[in-house]
Protein backbone atom coordinates (compact mmCIF):
# COMPACT_ATOMS: atom_id res chain seq x y z
CA UNK A 1 0.00 0.00 0.00
CA UNK A 2 1.21 3.50 -0.86
CA UNK A 3 2.07 5.85 2.00
CA UNK A 4 1.72 9.57 1.45
CA UNK A 5 4.44 11.96 2.35
CA UNK A 6 2.89 14.94 0.67
CA UNK A 7 0.20 16.10 3.05
CA UNK A 8 -2.02 19.12 2.57
CA UNK A 9 -5.32 20.02 4.16
CA UNK A 10 -7.68 17.12 3.26
CA UNK A 11 -10.72 19.40 3.12
CA UNK A 12 -9.19 21.09 0.06
CA UNK A 13 -9.70 17.89 -1.83
CA UNK A 14 -12.79 17.73 -4.03
CA UNK A 15 -13.11 15.57 -7.14
CA UNK A 16 -15.24 18.06 -9.09
CA UNK A 17 -13.83 18.72 -12.54
CA UNK A 18 -10.86 16.44 -12.09
CA UNK A 19 -9.90 14.30 -15.08
CA UNK A 20 -8.66 11.65 -12.68
CA UNK A 21 -9.60 11.02 -9.08
CA UNK A 22 -8.65 8.09 -6.86
CA UNK A 23 -9.56 7.97 -3.18
CA UNK A 24 -7.57 5.08 -1.67
CA UNK A 25 -7.92 3.91 1.96
CA UNK A 26 -5.09 6.19 3.13
CA UNK A 27 -4.59 8.89 0.49
CA UNK A 28 -6.32 10.70 -2.35
CA UNK A 29 -4.79 11.55 -5.70
CA UNK A 30 -6.40 13.80 -8.24
CA UNK A 31 -5.29 15.37 -11.46
CA UNK A 32 -6.44 17.96 -13.90
CA UNK A 33 -5.17 20.02 -16.84
CA UNK A 34 -4.20 17.26 -19.17
CA UNK A 35 -1.09 17.93 -21.24
CA UNK A 36 -0.45 14.62 -22.96
CA UNK A 37 -3.10 12.13 -23.91
CA UNK A 38 -1.56 8.84 -24.93
CA UNK A 39 -3.79 8.43 -27.98
CA UNK A 40 -1.03 7.40 -30.32
CA UNK A 41 -0.70 4.26 -28.20
CA UNK A 42 0.88 1.49 -30.21
CA UNK A 43 -0.09 -1.97 -28.97
CA UNK A 44 3.04 -3.42 -30.59
CA UNK A 45 5.59 -1.06 -29.01
CA UNK A 46 6.43 -1.66 -25.35
CA UNK A 47 4.33 0.69 -23.24
CA UNK A 48 7.41 1.32 -21.10
CA UNK A 49 9.07 3.14 -24.02
CA UNK A 50 5.93 5.07 -24.86
CA UNK A 51 5.59 6.20 -21.25
CA UNK A 52 9.25 7.25 -21.16
CA UNK A 53 8.78 9.27 -24.38
CA UNK A 54 5.70 11.02 -22.98
CA UNK A 55 7.46 11.72 -19.69
CA UNK A 56 10.37 13.29 -21.58
CA UNK A 57 7.99 15.47 -23.62
CA UNK A 58 6.16 16.49 -20.44
CA UNK A 59 9.49 17.46 -18.86
CA UNK A 60 10.26 19.66 -21.87
CA UNK A 61 6.94 21.41 -21.18
CA UNK A 62 8.13 22.19 -17.66
CA UNK A 63 6.46 19.36 -15.69
CA UNK A 64 9.35 18.34 -13.48
CA UNK A 65 7.94 15.20 -11.92
CA UNK A 66 5.26 13.90 -14.30
CA UNK A 67 2.66 11.25 -13.49
CA UNK A 68 0.81 9.00 -15.86
CA UNK A 69 -2.81 8.36 -14.81
CA UNK A 70 -5.87 6.69 -16.31
CA UNK A 71 -7.35 3.32 -17.22
CA UNK A 72 -6.63 0.17 -19.18
CA UNK A 73 -9.48 -1.86 -20.73
CA UNK A 74 -10.13 -5.56 -20.13
CA UNK A 75 -8.88 -6.55 -23.58
CA UNK A 76 -5.12 -6.26 -23.73
CA UNK A 77 -5.02 -5.47 -27.47
CA UNK A 78 -7.27 -2.42 -27.06
CA UNK A 79 -5.77 1.00 -26.23
CA UNK A 80 -5.71 2.35 -22.69
CA UNK A 81 -6.95 5.83 -21.86
CA UNK A 82 -3.92 7.37 -20.21
CA UNK A 83 -2.78 10.92 -19.81
CA UNK A 84 -0.14 13.08 -18.20
CA UNK A 85 -1.72 15.83 -16.15
CA UNK A 86 -0.14 19.21 -15.68
CA UNK A 87 -0.94 19.11 -11.97
CA UNK A 88 -1.27 16.18 -9.59
CA UNK A 89 -2.51 16.67 -6.08
CA UNK A 90 -1.89 14.04 -3.37
CA UNK A 91 -3.28 14.40 0.11
CA UNK A 92 -3.90 12.25 3.13
CA UNK A 93 -7.37 10.71 3.02
CA UNK A 94 -10.27 13.15 2.64
CA UNK A 95 -12.33 13.67 5.76
CA UNK A 96 -15.69 12.10 5.03
CA UNK A 97 -18.86 12.96 6.92
CA UNK A 98 -19.91 9.32 7.41
CA UNK A 99 -23.28 10.30 5.93
CA UNK A 100 -25.10 7.14 4.86
CA UNK A 101 -28.13 8.87 3.34
CA UNK A 102 -27.20 9.19 -0.33
CA UNK A 103 -27.36 12.49 -2.12
CA UNK A 104 -29.43 11.83 -5.22
CA UNK A 105 -27.64 11.99 -8.57
CA UNK A 106 -31.14 11.88 -10.22
CA UNK A 107 -34.18 14.16 -9.97
CA UNK A 108 -36.56 11.76 -11.76
CA UNK A 109 -36.77 7.96 -11.78
CA UNK A 110 -34.36 6.53 -14.38
CA UNK A 111 -35.06 3.68 -16.87
CA UNK A 112 -33.20 0.34 -16.51
CA UNK A 113 -32.24 -2.34 -19.06
CA UNK A 114 -30.43 -5.56 -18.10
CA UNK A 115 -28.11 -7.32 -20.58
CA UNK A 116 -28.10 -10.29 -20.76
CA UNK A 117 -31.48 -11.07 -19.21
CA UNK A 118 -31.28 -12.99 -15.92
CA UNK A 119 -32.30 -16.19 -17.70
CA UNK A 120 -29.69 -15.69 -20.45
CA UNK A 121 -27.03 -15.08 -17.81
CA UNK A 122 -27.86 -18.35 -16.04
CA UNK A 123 -27.68 -20.12 -19.43
CA UNK A 124 -24.17 -18.68 -19.96
CA UNK A 125 -23.16 -20.02 -16.54
CA UNK A 126 -24.60 -23.45 -17.45
CA UNK A 127 -22.66 -23.44 -20.72
CA UNK A 128 -19.45 -22.58 -18.87
CA UNK A 129 -20.04 -25.41 -16.39
CA UNK A 130 -20.58 -27.77 -19.32
CA UNK A 131 -17.27 -26.56 -20.87
CA UNK A 132 -15.53 -27.34 -17.58
CA UNK A 133 -16.70 -30.95 -17.92
CA UNK A 134 -15.55 -31.27 -21.51
CA UNK A 135 -12.35 -29.17 -21.66
CA UNK A 136 -9.48 -27.90 -19.50
CA UNK A 137 -11.42 -24.77 -18.50
CA UNK A 138 -11.20 -24.40 -14.70
CA UNK A 139 -12.58 -20.94 -14.06
CA UNK A 140 -14.29 -18.13 -15.97
CA UNK A 141 -15.67 -14.82 -14.77
CA UNK A 142 -18.99 -14.07 -16.49
CA UNK A 143 -20.60 -10.68 -16.18
CA UNK A 144 -23.80 -8.69 -16.70
CA UNK A 145 -24.50 -5.08 -17.43
CA UNK A 146 -27.25 -2.73 -16.34
CA UNK A 147 -27.97 0.29 -18.51
CA UNK A 148 -29.56 3.23 -16.69
CA UNK A 149 -30.94 6.13 -18.65
CA UNK A 150 -32.03 9.35 -17.02
CA UNK A 151 -33.79 12.52 -18.23
CA UNK A 152 -31.58 14.47 -15.82
CA UNK A 153 -27.91 15.17 -16.16
CA UNK A 154 -26.33 12.61 -13.83
CA UNK A 155 -24.75 14.17 -10.76
CA UNK A 156 -21.24 12.73 -10.87
CA UNK A 157 -20.24 14.70 -7.75
CA UNK A 158 -23.05 13.10 -5.73
CA UNK A 159 -22.18 9.69 -7.14
CA UNK A 160 -18.55 9.88 -6.08
CA UNK A 161 -19.33 11.35 -2.66
CA UNK A 162 -21.74 8.49 -2.01
CA UNK A 163 -19.31 5.85 -3.27
CA UNK A 164 -16.54 7.15 -1.03
CA UNK A 165 -18.82 7.47 2.03
CA UNK A 166 -20.03 3.89 1.62
CA UNK A 167 -16.66 2.30 0.73
CA UNK A 168 -14.04 3.83 3.05
CA UNK A 169 -11.83 0.70 2.87
CA UNK A 170 -11.95 0.53 -0.92
CA UNK A 171 -10.75 2.62 -3.83
CA UNK A 172 -13.25 5.17 -5.13
CA UNK A 173 -12.30 6.35 -8.59
CA UNK A 174 -13.38 8.43 -11.52
CA UNK A 175 -11.30 8.79 -14.65
CA UNK A 176 -11.94 10.32 -18.05
CA UNK A 177 -12.45 7.96 -20.96
CA UNK A 178 -12.84 10.65 -23.64
CA UNK A 179 -16.10 11.51 -25.45
CA UNK A 180 -17.48 13.05 -22.22
CA UNK A 181 -17.45 9.61 -20.55
CA UNK A 182 -16.02 8.68 -17.17
CA UNK A 183 -15.28 5.36 -15.54
CA UNK A 184 -16.53 5.66 -11.98
CA UNK A 185 -16.72 3.14 -9.16
CA UNK A 186 -15.51 1.85 -5.81
CA UNK A 187 -13.28 -1.20 -6.20
CA UNK A 188 -12.27 -3.36 -3.25
CA UNK A 189 -9.44 -4.99 -5.25
CA UNK A 190 -5.84 -3.77 -5.51
CA UNK A 191 -4.23 -5.24 -8.61
CA UNK A 192 -0.73 -4.08 -7.66
CA UNK A 193 1.16 -1.24 -6.06
CA UNK A 194 4.85 -0.44 -6.15
CA UNK A 195 6.20 1.90 -3.50
CA UNK A 196 9.94 2.32 -2.88
CA UNK A 197 10.65 -1.21 -4.03
CA UNK A 198 7.79 -2.87 -2.14
CA UNK A 199 5.27 -4.73 -4.30
CA UNK A 200 1.77 -5.46 -2.99
CA UNK A 201 -1.03 -7.29 -4.80
CA UNK A 202 -4.33 -8.12 -3.16
CA UNK A 203 -6.41 -10.53 -5.27
CA UNK A 204 -9.99 -11.26 -4.25
CA UNK A 205 -12.00 -14.29 -5.36
CA UNK A 206 -14.77 -16.24 -3.66
CA UNK A 207 -17.70 -14.11 -2.50
CA UNK A 208 -21.05 -13.99 -0.73
CA UNK A 209 -23.58 -11.15 -0.73
CA UNK A 210 -24.00 -9.40 2.65
CA UNK A 211 -27.34 -9.60 4.47
CA UNK A 212 -29.14 -6.88 6.46
CA UNK A 213 -29.88 -9.48 9.13
CA UNK A 214 -26.72 -9.77 11.31
CA UNK A 215 -27.24 -13.49 12.05
CA UNK A 216 -27.74 -14.37 8.38
CA UNK A 217 -24.81 -12.11 7.48
CA UNK A 218 -22.52 -14.00 9.88
CA UNK A 219 -23.83 -17.35 8.56
CA UNK A 220 -22.89 -16.33 5.00
CA UNK A 221 -19.44 -15.21 6.12
CA UNK A 222 -18.87 -18.55 7.88
CA UNK A 223 -20.16 -20.44 4.86
CA UNK A 224 -17.66 -18.61 2.65
CA UNK A 225 -14.82 -19.18 5.12
CA UNK A 226 -15.41 -22.95 4.97
CA UNK A 227 -16.45 -23.36 1.33
CA UNK A 228 -14.04 -25.67 -0.52
CA UNK A 229 -15.49 -24.47 -3.85
CA UNK A 230 -14.62 -20.84 -3.01
CA UNK A 231 -11.17 -21.74 -1.66
CA UNK A 232 -10.50 -23.57 -4.93
CA UNK A 233 -11.69 -20.50 -6.90
CA UNK A 234 -9.43 -18.31 -4.77
CA UNK A 235 -6.38 -20.57 -5.13
CA UNK A 236 -6.62 -20.51 -8.93
CA UNK A 237 -6.18 -16.73 -8.75
CA UNK A 238 -3.39 -16.70 -6.15
CA UNK A 239 -1.36 -19.33 -8.02
CA UNK A 240 -1.54 -17.31 -11.26
CA UNK A 241 -0.70 -14.01 -9.52
CA UNK A 242 2.26 -15.62 -7.74
CA UNK A 243 3.49 -17.16 -11.00
CA UNK A 244 3.32 -13.77 -12.79
CA UNK A 245 5.11 -11.89 -9.98
CA UNK A 246 7.76 -14.51 -9.21
CA UNK A 247 10.15 -13.56 -12.07
CA UNK A 248 9.79 -9.83 -11.25
CA UNK A 249 10.23 -9.96 -7.46
CA UNK A 250 12.50 -11.19 -4.74
CA UNK A 251 11.43 -12.13 -1.19
CA UNK A 252 7.81 -12.83 -2.06
CA UNK A 253 5.46 -13.62 0.77
CA UNK A 254 2.07 -15.32 0.31
CA UNK A 255 -0.07 -16.17 3.35
CA UNK A 256 -1.15 -19.82 3.40
CA UNK A 257 -4.81 -19.05 4.00
CA UNK A 258 -6.97 -16.21 2.66
CA UNK A 259 -8.58 -13.69 4.98
CA UNK A 260 -12.26 -12.81 4.97
CA UNK A 261 -12.91 -9.17 4.12
CA UNK A 262 -16.14 -7.22 3.79
CA UNK A 263 -17.47 -4.32 1.77
CA UNK A 264 -20.89 -2.82 2.42
CA UNK A 265 -22.44 -5.31 -0.01
CA UNK A 266 -20.08 -8.33 -0.20
CA UNK A 267 -17.92 -10.79 1.72
CA UNK A 268 -14.73 -11.83 -0.10
CA UNK A 269 -11.78 -14.15 0.33
CA UNK A 270 -8.66 -11.99 0.13
CA UNK A 271 -4.90 -12.67 0.06
CA UNK A 272 -2.28 -9.94 0.29
CA UNK A 273 0.80 -10.94 -1.69
CA UNK A 274 3.95 -8.89 -0.99
CA UNK A 275 7.50 -8.87 -2.28
CA UNK A 276 10.42 -6.67 -3.21
CA UNK A 277 10.74 -5.68 -6.84
CA UNK A 278 13.82 -7.17 -8.50
CA UNK A 279 16.26 -4.20 -8.44
CA UNK A 280 18.06 -5.50 -11.55
CA UNK A 281 15.08 -5.11 -13.86
CA UNK A 282 14.20 -1.40 -13.57
CA UNK A 283 10.46 -2.12 -13.33
CA UNK A 284 7.62 0.35 -12.89
CA UNK A 285 4.15 -0.14 -11.42
CA UNK A 286 2.79 -0.22 -15.01
CA UNK A 287 5.15 -3.10 -15.88
CA UNK A 288 3.90 -5.05 -12.87
CA UNK A 289 0.24 -4.29 -13.62
CA UNK A 290 0.59 -5.37 -17.25
CA UNK A 291 2.38 -8.56 -16.21
CA UNK A 292 -0.59 -9.45 -13.99
CA UNK A 293 -3.53 -8.32 -16.11
CA UNK A 294 -5.92 -10.06 -16.71
CA UNK A 295 -5.82 -12.14 -13.53
CA UNK A 296 -8.26 -15.03 -13.11
CA UNK A 297 -10.11 -12.80 -10.58
CA UNK A 298 -11.71 -11.09 -13.60
CA UNK A 299 -10.96 -13.43 -16.54
CA UNK A 300 -10.34 -17.09 -15.72
CA UNK A 301 -7.99 -19.98 -16.18
CA UNK A 302 -6.58 -21.10 -18.53
CA UNK A 303 -6.79 -17.57 -19.89
CA UNK A 304 -7.43 -18.42 -23.56
CA UNK A 305 -10.31 -20.80 -22.76
CA UNK A 306 -11.82 -18.29 -20.33
CA UNK A 307 -11.62 -15.55 -22.97
CA UNK A 308 -13.50 -17.81 -25.42
CA UNK A 309 -16.37 -18.09 -22.92
CA UNK A 310 -16.31 -14.35 -22.16
CA UNK A 311 -16.88 -13.69 -25.89
CA UNK A 312 -20.42 -15.02 -25.32
CA UNK A 313 -21.23 -12.04 -23.05
CA UNK A 314 -23.63 -9.98 -25.23
CA UNK A 315 -21.90 -6.64 -24.59
CA UNK A 316 -18.43 -5.12 -24.64
CA UNK A 317 -16.70 -4.91 -21.24
CA UNK A 318 -14.62 -1.92 -22.38
CA UNK A 319 -12.88 -0.64 -19.24
CA UNK A 320 -14.80 -2.89 -16.80
CA UNK A 321 -12.39 -5.55 -15.40
CA UNK A 322 -9.45 -3.51 -16.67
CA UNK A 323 -7.46 -1.34 -14.27
CA UNK A 324 -7.35 2.24 -13.05
CA UNK A 325 -4.40 3.96 -11.46
CA UNK A 326 -1.28 6.05 -11.64
CA UNK A 327 2.46 5.78 -12.04
CA UNK A 328 4.98 8.49 -11.16
CA UNK A 329 8.31 9.47 -12.69
CA UNK A 330 10.19 7.15 -10.30
CA UNK A 331 8.00 4.22 -11.42
CA UNK A 332 6.03 3.99 -8.16
CA UNK A 333 2.27 3.74 -8.48
CA UNK A 334 -0.92 1.89 -7.73
CA UNK A 335 -3.39 0.09 -10.04
CA UNK A 336 -6.83 -1.02 -8.96
CA UNK A 337 -9.01 -3.63 -10.69
CA UNK A 338 -11.91 -1.74 -12.31
CA UNK A 339 -14.87 -3.56 -10.80
CA UNK A 340 -17.98 -2.32 -8.89
CA UNK A 341 -18.01 0.44 -11.48
CA UNK A 342 -19.87 2.04 -14.35
CA UNK A 343 -19.26 4.06 -17.47
CA UNK A 344 -21.00 7.36 -16.86
CA UNK A 345 -21.99 9.98 -19.43
CA UNK A 346 -24.38 12.92 -19.03
CA UNK A 347 -27.66 10.93 -19.17
CA UNK A 348 -26.48 7.30 -19.07
CA UNK A 349 -24.81 4.97 -16.62
CA UNK A 350 -23.74 1.50 -17.63
CA UNK A 351 -23.09 -0.68 -14.58
CA UNK A 352 -21.13 -3.94 -14.71
CA UNK A 353 -20.80 -6.93 -12.40
CA UNK A 354 -19.24 -10.36 -12.79
CA UNK A 355 -18.81 -13.57 -10.84
CA UNK A 356 -16.24 -16.34 -10.96
CA UNK A 357 -17.62 -19.68 -12.18
CA UNK A 358 -15.87 -22.91 -11.18
CA UNK A 359 -16.96 -26.51 -10.92
CA UNK A 360 -19.66 -26.62 -8.23
CA UNK A 361 -21.04 -23.12 -9.02
CA UNK A 362 -24.82 -22.73 -9.26
CA UNK A 363 -26.33 -20.36 -11.87
CA UNK A 364 -28.88 -18.86 -9.39
CA UNK A 365 -26.13 -18.14 -6.83
CA UNK A 366 -23.95 -16.45 -9.46
CA UNK A 367 -26.91 -14.37 -10.60
CA UNK A 368 -27.54 -13.33 -6.98
CA UNK A 369 -23.85 -12.52 -6.52
CA UNK A 370 -23.78 -10.24 -9.58
CA UNK A 371 -26.97 -8.50 -8.38
CA UNK A 372 -25.31 -7.86 -5.02
CA UNK A 373 -22.21 -6.50 -6.77
CA UNK A 374 -24.37 -4.04 -8.76
CA UNK A 375 -25.50 -2.67 -5.42
CA UNK A 376 -22.23 -0.85 -4.76
CA UNK A 377 -23.15 1.52 -7.61
CA UNK A 378 -26.93 1.31 -7.10
CA UNK A 379 -26.66 2.40 -3.46
CA UNK A 380 -24.50 5.32 -4.51
CA UNK A 381 -27.40 6.21 -6.81
CA UNK A 382 -29.86 6.15 -3.93
CA UNK A 383 -31.40 2.73 -4.66
CA UNK A 384 -31.46 0.11 -1.91
CA UNK A 385 -31.77 -3.12 -3.89
CA UNK A 386 -32.61 -4.36 -7.37
CA UNK A 387 -34.18 -7.69 -6.32
C1 LIG B 1 -15.79 -9.51 -11.35
C2 LIG B 1 -16.10 -8.99 -10.17
O3 LIG B 1 -15.53 -9.41 -9.00
C4 LIG B 1 -14.39 -10.25 -8.98
C5 LIG B 1 -13.60 -9.81 -7.82
C6 LIG B 1 -13.80 -10.31 -6.57
C7 LIG B 1 -14.54 -11.49 -6.40
C8 LIG B 1 -15.07 -12.15 -7.47
C9 LIG B 1 -15.80 -13.42 -7.29
O10 LIG B 1 -15.87 -13.94 -6.17
O11 LIG B 1 -16.36 -13.92 -8.27
C12 LIG B 1 -14.83 -11.69 -8.85
O13 LIG B 1 -13.88 -12.55 -9.35
C14 LIG B 1 -17.08 -7.90 -10.02
O15 LIG B 1 -17.22 -7.36 -8.94
O16 LIG B 1 -17.72 -7.53 -11.05
Spot the catalytic one: 23, 165, 189, 369. 189
- Quote the CA–CA distance of 81 and 178 in Å, as a whole number: 8
Residue 3: the pLDDT is 40
Residue 105: the pLDDT is 58
Residue 50: the pLDDT is 76
pLDDT averaged over 10-residue windows placed end to end, the chain, 387 residues = 37 61 94 70 69 81 88 91 89 67 61 94 98 98 95 86 93 93 97 98 98 97 98 97 97 97 97 98 94 97 98 98 96 97 94 97 98 94 63
User: Does residue 283's CB lie within 6 angstroms of at least one atom of ligand 1?
Assistant: no
Residue 43: the pLDDT is 64
pTM of the model: 0.92
Q: Which of 231, 240, 297, when mutated, tests ligand 1's pocket best, judged by the most ligand atoms within 8 Å of its CB?
A: 297
Q: Measured in angstroms, how far is the CA atom of residue 286 from the centroid of ligand 1?
A: 22
Q: Measured in angstroms, how far is the CA atom of residue 33 from the centroid of ligand 1?
A: 33
Q: State yes or no: is 369 an active-site residue.
A: no
Q: Measured in angstroms, how far is the CA atom of residue 149 from the centroid of ligand 1?
A: 25
Q: Measured in angstroms, how far is the CA atom of residue 387 from the centroid of ligand 1?
A: 19
Q: State yes or no: is 99 an active-site residue.
A: no
Q: Which of 373, 374, 376, when mutated, tests ligand 1's pocket best, judged by the most ligand atoms within 8 Å of its CB?
A: 373
User: Does residue 181's CB lie within 6 angstroms of at least one atom of ligand 1?
Assistant: no
Task: Please name the fold of domain 10-99+117-380.
Answer: Anthranilate synthase (3.60.120)
Amino acid sequence: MIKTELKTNPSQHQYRDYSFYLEAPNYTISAHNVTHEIHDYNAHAPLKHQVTDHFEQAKKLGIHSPYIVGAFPFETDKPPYLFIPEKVHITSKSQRTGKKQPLSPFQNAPRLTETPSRKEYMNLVDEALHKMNTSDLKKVVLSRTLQIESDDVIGIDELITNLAEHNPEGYTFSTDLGNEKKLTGASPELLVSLYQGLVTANPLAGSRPRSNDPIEDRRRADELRHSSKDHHEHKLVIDTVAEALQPLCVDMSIPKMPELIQTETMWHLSTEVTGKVDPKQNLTSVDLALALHPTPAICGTPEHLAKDQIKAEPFDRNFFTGMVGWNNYEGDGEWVVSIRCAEVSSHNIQLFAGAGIVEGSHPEDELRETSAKFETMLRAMGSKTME
